[in-house]
Amino acid sequence: MKKLLSNKWVEMFLLVCLIVGATLTIYTPEIPFIQNGVRYAHLILFSFLLVGLIFMMYDRSRLMFVSLGCCAALSLFLKNASNDRLTLPQANAESKISIIHLNTSNLNRFDLIDSMLVQYDPDIISVQELTPDWNAYLSEKLIEKYPFYNTQVRIDFNGMGMYSKLAMMTSDTFLFDEKPNLVCQIKTDQLNLNIFSSYVLSLSEKERENIKGHFNKIADRVQSIDDAVISLGEFNMVYWDSEIINFRRNTALKNSRSYTSEIITAPSSDHMFYSDQLECIQFMDLTDDNNNHLGILGRFQFKSSI
């Protein structure tokens, strides 16, 4: 192996592969199989680290430094795409709000939602893939504690609903390509809070092209609002996907996720993004006893006025 790695042409080939691999991961071209592969950028990062250690064992310093350099570049890229704080902010005296977002396709039993509501007691519940069966159950279950709601019930995966303990000043639905997006304005002691719920789906290369239009539609609505904003939903792509990075750049929204907890499997594709008037003081993935992903929880507070 050492003799093979000592060959200058083999070394040159490996150097090119390392640099091109890191570049395509960070600056992803609109080629479907590359875009799909970038979902596993966290594994690509560990691969660079592993091969860098292998090159160190065989005393191939140039290959080692390039591998570790690619690893460092990917680490910075993933961190910049996540929440930019190293630690979550401390709780202050300003208004706070907690949100649970769920997708019914992840819940194989109605009672799974009951235990989460008891344990976390969120102020707002966002539900996607809201079918008639789930709507009937949730309407009966939540009406007493969550009297304010906006629902779009459908038999396909585009159904969604938002249930709130706090008064909704307004609730609206806007469409993109016949897909509903909910916007609910919540009254707080400070600025009003506008919560967007969207379901962005890409099943094919053609539909991925439509994603840009969908994100632009959401971004136009977000940009027209001066109050605080949270945009959440099932985006069906990782937070470092170029489409999400562009969406956040256009709206100046921050990512609630600080890292991905998945190691082998593809990271979760449900997200919460928030505007500069807010701080995220807690974010977590919700799982069942078998570690199956159920949804996400976010707790937010308004920034201190002091």
| Confidence class for position 264, pLDDT limits 50, 70, 90 | low
Report the alpha-carbon angle 248-252-203, nearest 5: 15
Q: What is the pLDDT of residue 262?
A: 58
Note the pLDDT tens digit of each residue in 227-239.
Answer: 899 999 999 889 9
Instruction: Give the residue from 295, 198, 181 showing the smallest Cα distance to 244.
Output: 198
On whether the CB atoms of residues 231 and 275 are closer than 8 A, the answer is no
| Confidence class for position 133, pLDDT limits 50, 70, 90 | very high
Q: Report, as an integer, the average pLDDT of 6-19.
A: 86
187: number of CA atoms within 13 Å, CB side?
7
d(CA 122, CA 151): 18
To which H or E segment does residue 100 belong? strand 96-103
Q: Residue 230 is encoded by which pair of tokens? A: 């949270």
Percent over 90 (pLDDT), the chain: 53
d(CA 70, CA 87): 25
For residue 94, give the DSSP letter: S
Name the burial class of residue 9, with classes exposed (0-12), middle (13-18) and buried (19+) by CB atoms within 10 angstroms of its CB: exposed
- Write the DSSP assignment of 155-213 as a string of letters: SSTT-EEEEESS-EEEEEEEEETTEEEEEEEEP-SSS-EEEEEEE---SSHHHHHHHHH
Strand-pair partners of 152: 160
Is this model's pTM higher than 0.85 or not? yes
| Confidence class for position 193, pLDDT limits 50, 70, 90 | very high
Q: Report, as an integer, the average pLDDT of 134-158.
A: 91
- Name every residue whose Cβ is closer than 8 Å to that of residue 171 and which is 6 or more positions away in sequence: 148, 150, 162, 182, 183, 184, 185
For residue 108, the tally of other CB atoms under 10 A from its CB is: 10
Three-state secondary structure along 25-93?
HHCCCCCHHHHHHHHHHHHHHHHHHHHHHHHHHCCCHHHHHHHHHHHHHHHHHHHHHCCCCCCCCCCCC
Q: What is the pLDDT of residue 275?
A: 95
Quote the CATH superfamily of domain 96-302: Endonuclease/exonuclease/phosphatase (3.60.10.10)
Query: 59 or 271, which is more confident?
Result: 271
What is the overall mean pLDDT for the chain? 88
Strand-pair partners of 297: 100, 284
d(CA 231, CA 252): 11
pLDDT at 265 over 70: no
For the chain, domain boundaries: 2-81, 96-302
Q: What is the largest CA-CA distance in the chain?
A: 73
Q: What is the pLDDT of residue 87?
A: 78
Report the alpha-carbon angle 294-82-232, nearest 5: 45
On whether the CB atoms of residues 202 and 222 are closer than 8 A, the answer is no
